[in-house]
Structure 1
Protein backbone atom coordinates (compact mmCIF):
# COMPACT_ATOMS: atom_id res chain seq x y z
CA UNK A 1 0.00 0.00 0.00
CA UNK A 2 1.15 3.54 -0.68
CA UNK A 3 2.51 4.87 2.61
CA UNK A 4 5.46 7.18 1.99
CA UNK A 5 8.26 7.21 4.50
CA UNK A 6 11.94 7.68 5.26
CA UNK A 7 14.49 5.13 6.42
CA UNK A 8 17.42 7.02 7.95
CA UNK A 9 20.74 6.06 9.51
CA UNK A 10 22.60 8.47 11.80
CA UNK A 11 26.24 7.60 12.47
CA UNK A 12 29.32 9.44 13.69
CA UNK A 13 27.24 12.54 14.32
CA UNK A 14 25.75 12.87 10.83
CA UNK A 15 23.10 11.51 8.48
CA UNK A 16 24.57 8.77 6.29
CA UNK A 17 21.36 7.28 4.85
CA UNK A 18 18.02 8.96 4.09
CA UNK A 19 16.14 6.45 1.93
CA UNK A 20 12.77 7.50 0.51
CA UNK A 21 10.21 4.69 0.35
CA UNK A 22 6.87 4.61 -1.44
CA UNK A 23 5.04 1.62 0.01
CA UNK A 24 4.14 -0.05 3.34
CA UNK A 25 5.70 2.62 5.52
CA UNK A 26 3.61 1.83 8.61
CA UNK A 27 5.18 -0.11 11.53
CA UNK A 28 3.66 -3.47 10.50
CA UNK A 29 5.43 -3.06 7.17
CA UNK A 30 8.80 -1.30 7.07
CA UNK A 31 8.98 -0.98 10.86
CA UNK A 32 8.95 -4.75 11.36
CA UNK A 33 11.49 -5.22 8.55
CA UNK A 34 13.88 -2.84 10.33
CA UNK A 35 13.20 -4.61 13.62
CA UNK A 36 14.13 -7.99 12.14
CA UNK A 37 17.33 -6.57 10.64
CA UNK A 38 18.43 -5.00 13.92
CA UNK A 39 17.61 -8.11 15.94
CA UNK A 40 20.70 -9.82 14.46
CA UNK A 41 23.81 -8.27 16.00
CA UNK A 42 26.13 -9.13 13.10
CA UNK A 43 23.86 -7.19 10.73
CA UNK A 44 24.72 -4.00 12.59
CA UNK A 45 28.46 -4.62 12.32
CA UNK A 46 28.12 -5.43 8.61
CA UNK A 47 26.02 -2.29 8.14
CA UNK A 48 28.76 -0.16 9.70
CA UNK A 49 31.38 -1.78 7.47
CA UNK A 50 29.23 -1.12 4.41
CA UNK A 51 28.66 2.50 5.39
CA UNK A 52 32.38 2.96 5.97
CA UNK A 53 33.62 1.73 2.60
CA UNK A 54 30.85 0.80 0.20
CA UNK A 55 28.44 3.71 -0.36
CA UNK A 56 28.62 6.88 -2.42
CA UNK A 57 26.32 9.68 -3.55
CA UNK A 58 26.31 9.91 -7.37
CA UNK A 59 26.68 13.25 -9.11
CA UNK A 60 23.88 14.53 -11.33
CA UNK A 61 25.81 13.31 -14.36
CA UNK A 62 26.20 9.86 -12.81
CA UNK A 63 22.49 9.73 -11.95
CA UNK A 64 21.63 10.63 -15.55
CA UNK A 65 23.90 7.85 -16.80
CA UNK A 66 22.39 5.34 -14.35
CA UNK A 67 18.88 6.26 -15.43
CA UNK A 68 19.80 5.93 -19.11
CA UNK A 69 21.23 2.47 -18.40
CA UNK A 70 18.03 1.44 -16.61
CA UNK A 71 15.87 2.70 -19.48
CA UNK A 72 18.02 0.78 -21.96
CA UNK A 73 17.58 -2.37 -19.86
CA UNK A 74 13.80 -1.92 -19.92
CA UNK A 75 13.75 -1.35 -23.68
CA UNK A 76 15.92 -4.41 -24.32
CA UNK A 77 13.63 -6.57 -22.23
CA UNK A 78 10.54 -5.32 -24.05
CA UNK A 79 12.22 -6.11 -27.37
CA UNK A 80 12.82 -9.72 -26.31
CA UNK A 81 9.17 -10.69 -26.50
CA UNK A 82 6.07 -9.72 -28.44
CA UNK A 83 3.90 -10.39 -25.42
CA UNK A 84 5.79 -8.22 -22.93
CA UNK A 85 3.84 -7.60 -19.75
CA UNK A 86 4.89 -5.25 -16.97
CA UNK A 87 6.11 -7.03 -13.83
CA UNK A 88 6.92 -5.00 -10.70
CA UNK A 89 10.29 -6.64 -10.04
CA UNK A 90 11.45 -6.79 -13.64
CA UNK A 91 12.40 -3.18 -14.23
CA UNK A 92 15.85 -1.80 -14.82
CA UNK A 93 16.32 0.22 -11.65
CA UNK A 94 15.34 -2.70 -9.39
CA UNK A 95 17.52 -5.15 -11.29
CA UNK A 96 20.59 -2.96 -11.79
CA UNK A 97 20.50 -0.37 -8.98
CA UNK A 98 18.05 -1.52 -6.28
CA UNK A 99 19.50 0.99 -3.81
CA UNK A 100 17.85 3.74 -5.90
CA UNK A 101 14.43 2.10 -6.23
CA UNK A 102 11.52 3.59 -4.32
CA UNK A 103 10.30 0.08 -3.41
CA UNK A 104 13.53 -0.88 -1.62
CA UNK A 105 12.82 1.04 1.61
CA UNK A 106 14.15 -0.91 4.63
CA UNK A 107 15.84 -3.30 2.22
CA UNK A 108 18.58 -0.69 1.84
CA UNK A 109 19.99 -1.84 5.18
CA UNK A 110 20.58 -5.35 3.88
CA UNK A 111 21.98 -4.07 0.58
CA UNK A 112 24.60 -1.98 2.37
CA UNK A 113 25.39 -4.71 4.90
CA UNK A 114 25.85 -7.34 2.18
CA UNK A 115 28.12 -5.03 0.21
CA UNK A 116 30.68 -5.30 2.98
CA UNK A 117 30.64 -9.08 2.53
CA UNK A 118 30.59 -9.18 -1.28
CA UNK A 119 33.25 -7.87 -3.61
CA UNK A 120 33.45 -7.75 -7.39
CA UNK A 121 35.96 -10.13 -8.92
CA UNK A 122 38.65 -9.31 -11.42
CA UNK A 123 42.19 -10.25 -12.29
CA UNK A 124 45.62 -8.69 -12.26
CA UNK A 125 48.01 -8.64 -15.21
CA UNK A 126 49.54 -11.95 -14.13
CA UNK A 127 46.11 -13.60 -13.95
CA UNK A 128 45.77 -13.58 -10.18
CA UNK A 129 42.33 -12.94 -8.74
CA UNK A 130 41.70 -9.34 -7.77
CA UNK A 131 39.09 -8.04 -5.37
CA UNK A 132 37.67 -4.53 -5.49
CA UNK A 133 35.17 -2.94 -3.14
CA UNK A 134 31.58 -2.91 -4.36
CA UNK A 135 30.08 0.59 -4.20
CA UNK A 136 26.39 1.22 -3.53
CA UNK A 137 24.89 4.44 -4.95
CA UNK A 138 22.55 6.29 -2.57
CA UNK A 139 20.17 9.14 -3.34
CA UNK A 140 19.52 10.94 0.00
CA UNK A 141 16.01 12.37 0.43
CA UNK A 142 16.33 13.93 3.88
CA UNK A 143 14.30 16.99 2.85
CA UNK A 144 11.25 14.73 2.50
CA UNK A 145 11.10 14.90 6.30
CA UNK A 146 9.68 18.43 5.88
CA UNK A 147 6.68 17.19 3.90
CA UNK A 148 4.11 17.17 6.68
CA UNK A 149 1.41 15.78 4.39
CA UNK A 150 3.09 12.91 2.57
CA UNK A 151 5.88 11.82 4.94
CA UNK A 152 3.67 9.57 7.06
CA UNK A 153 6.36 7.60 8.88
CA UNK A 154 10.09 7.94 9.49
CA UNK A 155 12.56 5.56 11.10
CA UNK A 156 15.98 6.59 12.38
CA UNK A 157 18.63 4.01 13.19
CA UNK A 158 21.02 5.82 15.51
CA UNK A 159 24.23 3.79 15.43
CA UNK A 160 25.95 6.19 17.84
CA UNK A 161 23.42 5.60 20.62
CA UNK A 162 22.37 2.12 19.47
CA UNK A 163 18.69 2.94 19.18
CA UNK A 164 15.81 2.80 16.70
CA UNK A 165 13.56 5.87 16.70
CA UNK A 166 10.03 5.78 15.28
CA UNK A 167 8.26 8.88 13.97
CA UNK A 168 4.67 9.20 12.74
CA UNK A 169 2.70 12.14 11.41
CA UNK A 170 4.31 15.55 11.86
CA UNK A 171 4.92 18.24 14.44
CA UNK A 172 6.58 21.62 14.84
CA UNK A 173 10.30 21.84 15.46
CA UNK A 174 11.62 22.28 18.97
CA UNK A 175 14.97 22.16 20.72
CA UNK A 176 16.45 18.69 20.84
CA UNK A 177 14.33 17.32 18.00
CA UNK A 178 16.21 14.87 15.78
CA UNK A 179 15.13 16.69 12.60
CA UNK A 180 15.46 20.25 13.95
CA UNK A 181 18.30 21.08 11.56
CA UNK A 182 16.50 19.71 8.49
CA UNK A 183 14.88 22.39 6.31
CA UNK A 184 13.78 25.89 7.26
CA UNK A 185 12.92 26.86 10.82
CA UNK A 186 9.15 26.90 10.27
CA UNK A 187 8.89 23.70 8.25
CA UNK A 188 7.24 20.65 9.87
CA UNK A 189 9.20 17.56 10.83
CA UNK A 190 8.20 13.96 11.61
CA UNK A 191 6.48 13.59 14.98
CA UNK A 192 8.45 11.53 17.50
CA UNK A 193 6.57 8.44 18.70
CA UNK A 194 9.03 6.30 20.65
CA UNK A 195 12.47 4.70 20.59
CA UNK A 196 13.92 1.25 21.20
CA UNK A 197 17.44 0.50 22.39
CA UNK A 198 19.16 -2.27 20.44
CA UNK A 199 19.51 -4.19 23.71
CA UNK A 200 15.71 -4.00 24.09
CA UNK A 201 15.18 -5.25 20.53
CA UNK A 202 17.43 -8.28 21.12
CA UNK A 203 15.14 -9.39 23.96
CA UNK A 204 11.85 -9.06 22.09
CA UNK A 205 10.07 -12.37 21.63
CA UNK A 206 7.74 -11.20 18.85
CA UNK A 207 7.01 -8.36 16.46
CA UNK A 208 3.87 -7.64 18.45
CA UNK A 209 5.90 -6.31 21.40
CA UNK A 210 7.29 -3.66 19.06
CA UNK A 211 3.86 -2.79 17.66
CA UNK A 212 2.17 -2.75 21.07
CA UNK A 213 4.55 -0.10 22.36
CA UNK A 214 3.84 2.13 19.35
CA UNK A 215 0.08 1.72 19.86
CA UNK A 216 0.43 2.50 23.57
CA UNK A 217 2.36 5.69 22.87
CA UNK A 218 -0.18 6.61 20.18
CA UNK A 219 -2.95 6.36 22.78
CA UNK A 220 -1.01 8.60 25.15
CA UNK A 221 -0.42 11.17 22.41
CA UNK A 222 -4.12 11.22 21.55
CA UNK A 223 -5.08 11.79 25.19
CA UNK A 224 -2.49 14.54 25.57
CA UNK A 225 -3.68 16.26 22.40
CA UNK A 226 -7.28 16.00 23.57
CA UNK A 227 -6.27 17.70 26.81
CA UNK A 228 -5.15 20.76 24.85
CA UNK A 229 -1.45 20.18 24.17
CA UNK A 230 -1.11 21.38 20.59
CA UNK A 231 2.44 20.21 19.97
CA UNK A 232 1.46 17.56 17.44
CA UNK A 233 0.06 18.52 14.05
CA UNK A 234 -1.33 15.04 13.39
CA UNK A 235 -1.53 13.36 16.80
CA UNK A 236 -3.96 10.63 15.79
CA UNK A 237 -2.27 9.64 12.54
CA UNK A 238 0.39 7.30 13.90
CA UNK A 239 -2.01 5.41 16.17
CA UNK A 240 -4.62 4.97 13.44
CA UNK A 241 -2.12 3.61 10.92
CA UNK A 242 -0.73 1.06 13.37
CA UNK A 243 -4.18 -0.22 14.29
CA UNK A 244 -5.48 -0.42 10.74
CA UNK A 245 -2.30 -1.32 8.89
CA UNK A 246 -4.16 -0.70 5.65
CA UNK A 247 -4.26 2.27 3.28
CA UNK A 248 -5.72 3.02 -0.11
CA UNK A 249 -3.58 2.04 -3.06
CA UNK A 250 -1.29 4.90 -4.02
CA UNK A 251 -0.04 4.90 -7.59
CA UNK A 252 2.27 7.40 -9.21
CA UNK A 253 1.04 9.49 -12.10
CA UNK A 254 3.06 7.37 -14.51
CA UNK A 255 1.60 4.18 -13.05
CA UNK A 256 4.83 2.20 -13.07
CA UNK A 257 7.64 1.13 -10.81
CA UNK A 258 10.67 3.34 -10.87
CA UNK A 259 13.43 5.14 -9.11
CA UNK A 260 13.65 6.76 -5.74
CA UNK A 261 11.70 9.98 -5.39
CA UNK A 262 13.68 12.79 -6.93
CA UNK A 263 15.64 10.62 -9.35
CA UNK A 264 15.46 11.62 -13.01
Structure 2
Protein backbone atom coordinates (compact mmCIF):
# COMPACT_ATOMS: atom_id res chain seq x y z
CA UNK A 1 0.00 0.00 0.00
CA UNK A 2 1.28 3.46 -0.86
CA UNK A 3 2.22 5.01 2.48
CA UNK A 4 5.11 7.43 2.10
CA UNK A 5 7.65 7.53 4.88
CA UNK A 6 11.19 8.37 5.89
CA UNK A 7 13.71 6.01 7.48
CA UNK A 8 16.72 7.65 9.11
CA UNK A 9 19.90 6.63 10.87
CA UNK A 10 21.66 9.13 13.14
CA UNK A 11 25.20 8.36 14.29
CA UNK A 12 28.23 10.28 15.49
CA UNK A 13 26.18 13.45 15.65
CA UNK A 14 25.01 13.44 12.03
CA UNK A 15 22.57 11.85 9.62
CA UNK A 16 23.95 8.85 7.74
CA UNK A 17 20.66 7.67 6.24
CA UNK A 18 17.45 9.49 5.30
CA UNK A 19 15.75 6.97 3.03
CA UNK A 20 12.50 7.89 1.28
CA UNK A 21 10.07 5.00 0.96
CA UNK A 22 6.72 4.85 -0.79
CA UNK A 23 5.06 1.64 0.33
CA UNK A 24 3.94 0.03 3.62
CA UNK A 25 5.08 2.91 5.78
CA UNK A 26 2.78 2.00 8.67
CA UNK A 27 4.27 0.63 11.91
CA UNK A 28 2.89 -2.80 10.97
CA UNK A 29 5.01 -2.62 7.82
CA UNK A 30 8.30 -0.73 7.89
CA UNK A 31 8.17 -0.19 11.65
CA UNK A 32 8.13 -3.92 12.35
CA UNK A 33 10.87 -4.53 9.77
CA UNK A 34 13.15 -2.07 11.56
CA UNK A 35 12.22 -3.59 14.91
CA UNK A 36 13.17 -7.09 13.73
CA UNK A 37 16.47 -5.81 12.36
CA UNK A 38 17.36 -4.10 15.64
CA UNK A 39 16.36 -7.14 17.71
CA UNK A 40 19.47 -8.96 16.44
CA UNK A 41 22.47 -7.49 18.26
CA UNK A 42 25.05 -8.33 15.58
CA UNK A 43 23.00 -6.39 13.02
CA UNK A 44 23.73 -3.16 14.87
CA UNK A 45 27.49 -3.74 14.85
CA UNK A 46 27.41 -4.72 11.18
CA UNK A 47 25.31 -1.65 10.37
CA UNK A 48 27.87 0.63 12.00
CA UNK A 49 30.71 -1.02 10.13
CA UNK A 50 28.84 -0.78 6.84
CA UNK A 51 27.98 2.87 7.37
CA UNK A 52 31.58 3.68 8.13
CA UNK A 53 33.22 1.72 5.34
CA UNK A 54 30.81 1.26 2.43
CA UNK A 55 28.12 3.95 2.37
CA UNK A 56 28.67 7.11 0.35
CA UNK A 57 26.68 10.01 -1.11
CA UNK A 58 27.10 10.12 -4.89
CA UNK A 59 27.70 13.41 -6.66
CA UNK A 60 25.22 14.80 -9.19
CA UNK A 61 27.39 13.45 -12.00
CA UNK A 62 27.46 10.02 -10.40
CA UNK A 63 23.67 10.08 -9.97
CA UNK A 64 23.25 10.86 -13.66
CA UNK A 65 25.55 7.98 -14.56
CA UNK A 66 23.62 5.62 -12.27
CA UNK A 67 20.29 6.54 -13.87
CA UNK A 68 21.76 6.14 -17.35
CA UNK A 69 22.99 2.66 -16.40
CA UNK A 70 19.58 1.75 -14.98
CA UNK A 71 17.76 2.99 -18.07
CA UNK A 72 20.05 0.91 -20.26
CA UNK A 73 19.24 -2.12 -18.09
CA UNK A 74 15.52 -1.43 -18.49
CA UNK A 75 15.81 -1.11 -22.26
CA UNK A 76 17.73 -4.37 -22.50
CA UNK A 77 15.08 -6.17 -20.47
CA UNK A 78 12.24 -4.73 -22.54
CA UNK A 79 13.96 -6.04 -25.62
CA UNK A 80 13.78 -9.53 -24.11
CA UNK A 81 10.27 -9.50 -22.63
CA UNK A 82 7.23 -7.27 -22.16
CA UNK A 83 6.13 -9.11 -19.03
CA UNK A 84 5.81 -6.85 -16.00
CA UNK A 85 7.32 -8.03 -12.74
CA UNK A 86 7.46 -6.08 -9.53
CA UNK A 87 10.89 -4.61 -8.77
CA UNK A 88 12.30 -5.87 -12.07
CA UNK A 89 13.76 -2.50 -12.94
CA UNK A 90 17.33 -1.34 -13.23
CA UNK A 91 17.26 0.77 -10.09
CA UNK A 92 15.97 -2.16 -8.01
CA UNK A 93 18.39 -4.69 -9.46
CA UNK A 94 21.55 -2.60 -9.76
CA UNK A 95 21.22 0.02 -7.03
CA UNK A 96 18.53 -1.09 -4.55
CA UNK A 97 19.84 1.38 -1.97
CA UNK A 98 18.38 4.17 -4.13
CA UNK A 99 15.03 2.52 -4.87
CA UNK A 100 11.85 3.81 -3.25
CA UNK A 101 10.69 0.23 -2.63
CA UNK A 102 13.71 -0.71 -0.49
CA UNK A 103 12.80 1.31 2.62
CA UNK A 104 13.85 -0.52 5.81
CA UNK A 105 15.58 -3.13 3.68
CA UNK A 106 18.44 -0.66 3.29
CA UNK A 107 19.56 -1.43 6.85
CA UNK A 108 19.97 -5.08 5.94
CA UNK A 109 21.80 -4.26 2.71
CA UNK A 110 24.36 -2.20 4.60
CA UNK A 111 24.76 -4.74 7.40
CA UNK A 112 25.20 -7.64 4.96
CA UNK A 113 27.89 -5.75 3.09
CA UNK A 114 29.90 -5.43 6.28
CA UNK A 115 29.36 -9.10 7.09
CA UNK A 116 30.46 -10.12 3.59
CA UNK A 117 33.71 -8.24 4.09
CA UNK A 118 34.39 -10.03 7.37
CA UNK A 119 33.67 -13.42 5.83
CA UNK A 120 35.87 -12.59 2.87
CA UNK A 121 38.75 -11.64 5.15
CA UNK A 122 38.42 -14.90 7.05
CA UNK A 123 38.31 -17.00 3.89
CA UNK A 124 41.11 -15.08 2.23
CA UNK A 125 43.66 -15.28 5.04
CA UNK A 126 46.46 -17.29 3.47
CA UNK A 127 50.20 -17.16 3.84
CA UNK A 128 51.58 -13.74 3.05
CA UNK A 129 48.21 -12.07 3.58
CA UNK A 130 46.99 -12.72 0.04
CA UNK A 131 43.30 -13.25 -0.59
CA UNK A 132 41.92 -16.46 -2.01
CA UNK A 133 40.24 -16.59 -5.43
CA UNK A 134 36.74 -16.89 -3.92
CA UNK A 135 37.00 -13.69 -1.87
CA UNK A 136 34.36 -11.12 -2.79
CA UNK A 137 35.02 -7.41 -2.56
CA UNK A 138 31.88 -5.70 -1.20
CA UNK A 139 30.40 -3.05 -3.45
CA UNK A 140 30.13 0.51 -2.22
CA UNK A 141 26.56 1.53 -1.39
CA UNK A 142 25.25 4.86 -2.72
CA UNK A 143 22.60 6.62 -0.63
CA UNK A 144 20.73 9.88 -1.08
CA UNK A 145 19.83 11.85 2.03
CA UNK A 146 16.26 13.02 1.56
CA UNK A 147 15.77 14.81 4.85
CA UNK A 148 13.72 17.56 3.20
CA UNK A 149 10.88 15.05 2.87
CA UNK A 150 10.45 15.40 6.64
CA UNK A 151 9.03 18.89 5.97
CA UNK A 152 6.29 17.53 3.70
CA UNK A 153 3.38 17.42 6.14
CA UNK A 154 0.99 16.20 3.44
CA UNK A 155 2.88 13.15 2.16
CA UNK A 156 5.33 12.20 4.93
CA UNK A 157 2.92 10.07 6.95
CA UNK A 158 5.47 8.20 9.06
CA UNK A 159 9.12 8.64 9.99
CA UNK A 160 11.47 6.29 11.81
CA UNK A 161 14.82 7.21 13.36
CA UNK A 162 17.49 4.78 14.52
CA UNK A 163 19.83 6.74 16.79
CA UNK A 164 23.02 4.72 17.16
CA UNK A 165 24.50 7.26 19.58
CA UNK A 166 21.70 7.04 22.14
CA UNK A 167 20.72 3.50 21.11
CA UNK A 168 17.06 4.30 20.61
CA UNK A 169 14.47 3.69 17.91
CA UNK A 170 12.02 6.57 17.48
CA UNK A 171 8.62 6.56 15.79
CA UNK A 172 6.99 9.65 14.29
CA UNK A 173 3.52 10.03 12.78
CA UNK A 174 1.78 13.05 11.28
CA UNK A 175 3.36 16.47 11.68
CA UNK A 176 3.86 19.27 14.17
CA UNK A 177 5.60 22.61 14.59
CA UNK A 178 9.28 22.73 15.41
CA UNK A 179 10.62 23.25 18.90
CA UNK A 180 14.15 23.58 20.24
CA UNK A 181 14.62 19.94 21.24
CA UNK A 182 12.95 18.36 18.22
CA UNK A 183 14.90 15.70 16.35
CA UNK A 184 14.29 17.44 13.00
CA UNK A 185 14.65 21.03 14.24
CA UNK A 186 17.52 21.75 11.82
CA UNK A 187 15.74 20.33 8.78
CA UNK A 188 14.19 23.04 6.60
CA UNK A 189 13.50 26.62 7.65
CA UNK A 190 12.08 27.73 10.99
CA UNK A 191 8.46 27.60 9.80
CA UNK A 192 8.67 24.19 8.13
CA UNK A 193 6.58 21.42 9.72
CA UNK A 194 8.33 18.30 10.96
CA UNK A 195 7.21 14.75 11.82
CA UNK A 196 5.38 14.54 15.15
CA UNK A 197 7.14 12.44 17.78
CA UNK A 198 5.06 9.54 19.11
CA UNK A 199 7.30 7.23 21.13
CA UNK A 200 10.73 5.64 21.38
CA UNK A 201 12.27 2.30 22.28
CA UNK A 202 15.77 1.78 23.61
CA UNK A 203 17.70 -1.13 22.16
CA UNK A 204 17.73 -3.03 25.45
CA UNK A 205 13.94 -2.83 25.51
CA UNK A 206 13.75 -4.17 21.96
CA UNK A 207 15.97 -7.15 22.79
CA UNK A 208 13.52 -8.17 25.53
CA UNK A 209 10.35 -7.89 23.45
CA UNK A 210 8.54 -11.20 23.05
CA UNK A 211 6.56 -10.24 19.95
CA UNK A 212 5.65 -7.41 17.60
CA UNK A 213 2.45 -6.66 19.49
CA UNK A 214 4.37 -5.01 22.32
CA UNK A 215 5.81 -2.55 19.82
CA UNK A 216 2.58 -1.97 17.92
CA UNK A 217 0.49 -1.52 21.07
CA UNK A 218 2.81 1.17 22.38
CA UNK A 219 2.80 3.00 19.04
CA UNK A 220 -1.00 2.83 18.84
CA UNK A 221 -1.38 4.14 22.39
CA UNK A 222 1.00 7.03 21.69
CA UNK A 223 -0.76 7.77 18.40
CA UNK A 224 -4.16 7.92 20.12
CA UNK A 225 -2.82 10.23 22.81
CA UNK A 226 -1.36 12.47 20.14
CA UNK A 227 -4.69 12.60 18.30
CA UNK A 228 -6.47 13.66 21.50
CA UNK A 229 -3.92 16.42 22.10
CA UNK A 230 -4.31 17.66 18.53
CA UNK A 231 -8.09 17.72 18.94
CA UNK A 232 -7.77 19.80 22.11
CA UNK A 233 -5.45 22.21 20.31
CA UNK A 234 -8.00 22.61 17.51
CA UNK A 235 -10.77 23.31 20.05
CA UNK A 236 -8.64 25.98 21.71
CA UNK A 237 -7.89 27.59 18.35
CA UNK A 238 -11.59 27.64 17.47
CA UNK A 239 -12.42 29.27 20.80
CA UNK A 240 -9.72 31.88 20.30
CA UNK A 241 -11.00 32.74 16.82
CA UNK A 242 -14.57 32.97 18.09
CA UNK A 243 -13.52 35.30 20.90
CA UNK A 244 -11.61 37.51 18.49
CA UNK A 245 -14.52 37.66 16.05
CA UNK A 246 -17.34 38.25 18.55
CA UNK A 247 -15.52 40.17 21.25
CA UNK A 248 -16.85 37.77 23.90
CA UNK A 249 -14.30 37.10 26.69
CA UNK A 250 -12.57 33.72 26.56
CA UNK A 251 -13.70 32.82 30.07
CA UNK A 252 -17.35 33.33 29.06
CA UNK A 253 -17.03 31.11 25.97
CA UNK A 254 -15.35 28.37 27.99
CA UNK A 255 -18.01 28.57 30.70
CA UNK A 256 -20.80 28.32 28.12
CA UNK A 257 -19.11 25.26 26.61
CA UNK A 258 -18.89 23.55 30.01
CA UNK A 259 -22.53 24.39 30.74
CA UNK A 260 -23.56 22.83 27.42
CA UNK A 261 -21.63 19.64 28.24
CA UNK A 262 -23.31 19.46 31.67
CA UNK A 263 -26.73 19.90 30.06
CA UNK A 264 -26.05 17.11 27.55
CA UNK A 265 -24.90 14.81 30.34
CA UNK A 266 -28.00 15.50 32.40
CA UNK A 267 -30.26 14.86 29.41
CA UNK A 268 -28.60 11.54 28.65
CA UNK A 269 -28.95 10.46 32.26
CA UNK A 270 -32.66 11.32 32.47
CA UNK A 271 -35.18 8.45 32.48
TM-score tier, shorter chain, comes to 0.7 to 0.9
Partner of residue 102, structure 2? 104
- Which position in structure 2 is the counterpart of 1:239? none
Runs of 4 or more off by more than 6 Å in structure 1?
A: none
Structure 1 segments unaligned to the other structure (5+ residues): 232-264
* Larger fraction in helix: 2
Q: Structure 2 matches for 1:77-116, cutoff 5 A? A: 77-81=77-81, 84-116=82-114
Distance 2:234 2:168 in 1: 27
Instruction: Give the corresponding residue for 2:197.
Output: 192
2:172 paired residue number: 167
The answer to whether residue 187 in structure 2 is matched with residue 182 in structure 1 is yes
Please list the CA deviations of residues 115-152 of structure 1 after superposition, one character each: whole Å capped at 9, or x if unmatched.
1122599x9xx996476452100011011000011000
- CA RMSD between the two structures: 2.1
* Residue of structure 1 in register with 2:140 after alignment: 135
Residues of 1 paired with 2:161 and 2:77: CA distance? 37
**Bigger-Rg structure (1/2):** 2
Evaluate the alpha carbon distance shift between residue 230 and residue 209 of structure 1 in structure 2; reply closer, same or farther with a 3 A threshold. Answer: farther
Distance 1:127 1:227 in 2: 65
Counterpart position of 1:75: 75
Structure 2 gaps, min length 5: 125-129, 237-271
Contact 2:173–2:223 under 8 Å retained in 1: no
CA 158–79 in structure 1, closer or farther in 2 if over 3 Å, else same? same
* TM-score normalised by L of structure 2: 0.79
Number of aligned residue pairs = 226
Counterparts of 1:223-238 in structure 2, within 5 Å, are 223-228=228-233
Distance 2:71 2:231 in 1: 51
